Amino acid sequence: MPFTVKDLQGLLRLLDRQPEWKDALRASLLGEEFLALPKLVRGLLRAQQATERQVRTLVEAQERTEEALRQLAEAQAGTEGELRRLAEAQARLAEAQARTEGELRRLAEAQARLAEAQQRTEEQVRGLAEAQARTEEQVRALAEAQGRMEGELRRLAEAQARTEGELRRLAEAQARLAEAQARTEGELRRLAEAQARTEERMDRLEQTVARLAEAQLRTEERLARLEERTDRLEETVARLAEAQLRTEERLARLEERTDRLEETVARLAEAQLRTEEQIRELVEAQRVTNLRLGRLEDVLGLTIEEHAEDILRLVLREKGLEILEEPRSVPVDTEGQVDLVAVCRDPQGRRVAVVVESKARLSVSAVRRWASRIGSAEFRRRLEEAGLPGPYLAYVFGIRMDRAVEEAIREAGLGLLGSRGEVIAPSGLLE
């Protein structure tokens, strides 16, 4: 006796009343390995979530590390800018120091020249003083000669008075005296002229000494101004020396900070290496996990698709649809393939393509993605290019599903297939 749909529905009602039979039937039909798959999937999902949390933690730590490195780079750039400014200030100080030293050298040379000029002036004054002393000595000698001459004349007058017999001698002597007097007067005239010339020279010497005195005053004034400028320069040099000391102290502090920054960067680099090593280990673990999940998904996907195919065949027969092309998976676009596609003929003789998306655990987001995909004109064009022209009946199949899935399916106009058959019929054909 064949097993009909009514027998199946009766069996389902009986299983609803006897839940333990349902478990026994499920274990008999699916096997213990298939029943253990949800628990294994949950464990894998929990491991996947833990791995993702670790990866997120590592990513956040990496971001914090990069932020710290960026801040260190900015601080290093500020330090380098400060060092450049300090180097420029040092260069300007060196140039100012060189100019100051050049000015001091020029001042020393000018002071040396002034000292030489002062020495020459003093030597000229000493020469003038010696010439004046010699002139005075000559004048004293002439005065003494004049005194002696006057004494001689007095003695001659006394001799003339004592003896008239010696008049001839006196006359002769007087003639000689007259000649001597003439010579004396001539000598006196020459002495007077020499005295006049000496006085003129003394006047010129006094004028020269006066000019030298004025020049000396001007020299002393310039020396005073030079001393003031030298004092100011010494003060400036002292301030520059203090600034240089402060600059050296700041440079020492900056060098200490740079050393500390380099140590911090070295520690961060080591931590970064350790982090990269941990990430590589996690990536390797993730790769192994993905491989295991991929193999499990392949096994699970084939099992789910086989179960969905059985349910689809049952539903198609219930709807009176004749299967023209057996259900199969069809690759369509970059998102993957359509899990199940069956070409049927409805009671009116129309050719209909039934497309099914299957999930072990059906969620609202999966329903919306499938609704957006099947509603896309580009997706339907690709189906047509794959030899599947419309119209279409669109279903989703799920073993387990969230509470809001049915509402989302009704809103999308899709059909829902479950382990017991058609749960929700499609709202219509998609042209």
Cα separation of 379 and 393, whole Å? 14
Average pLDDT of 53-70? 78
How would residue 245 be classed by pLDDT, with cut points 50, 70 and 90? confident
Average pLDDT of 368-395? 86
Whether residue 334 is predicted with pLDDT greater than 80 in this model: the reply is no
Whether residue 182 is predicted with pLDDT greater than 80 in this model: the reply is no
How would residue 205 be classed by pLDDT, with cut points 50, 70 and 90? low
Whether residue 421 is predicted with pLDDT greater than 80 in this model: the reply is yes
User: What pairing do the DSSP bridges indicate for beta strands 351-362 and 415-418?
Assistant: unpaired
Q: What is the DSSP letter of 144?
A: H
How would residue 194 be classed by pLDDT, with cut points 50, 70 and 90? low
Which pairs count as long-range contacts for 253-261, CB under 8 Å and 24+ apart, including other chains?
Answer: 254/79, 254/82, 254/83, 254/86, 257/79, 258/79, 261/72, 261/75, 261/76, 261/79
The answer to which of 7-11, 171-175, 277-281, 364-368 has the lowest mean pLDDT is 171-175
- Listing from the earlier edge strand, what are the strands of the sheet with 392-401? 322-333, 336-345, 351-362, 392-401, 415-418, 421-424
Report the pLDDT value the prediction gives residue 344, as an integer from 0 to 100: 92
How would residue 16 be classed by pLDDT, with cut points 50, 70 and 90? confident
Whether residue 244 is predicted with pLDDT greater than 70 in this model: the reply is yes
Report the pLDDT value the prediction gives residue 387, as an integer from 0 to 100: 84
Report the pLDDT value the prediction gives residue 82, as an integer from 0 to 100: 76
pLDDT mean across residues, the chain = 76
How would residue 300 be classed by pLDDT, with cut points 50, 70 and 90? very low
Report the pLDDT value the prediction gives residue 399, as an integer from 0 to 100: 82
Average pLDDT of 106-129? 74
Report the pLDDT value the prediction gives residue 1, as an integer from 0 to 100: 54
How would residue 296 be classed by pLDDT, with cut points 50, 70 and 90? very low
How would residue 420 be classed by pLDDT, with cut points 50, 70 and 90? confident
Whether residue 411 is predicted with pLDDT greater than 50 in this model: the reply is yes
What does the CA dihedral 79, 80, 81, 84 come to, rounded to 10 degrees?
120
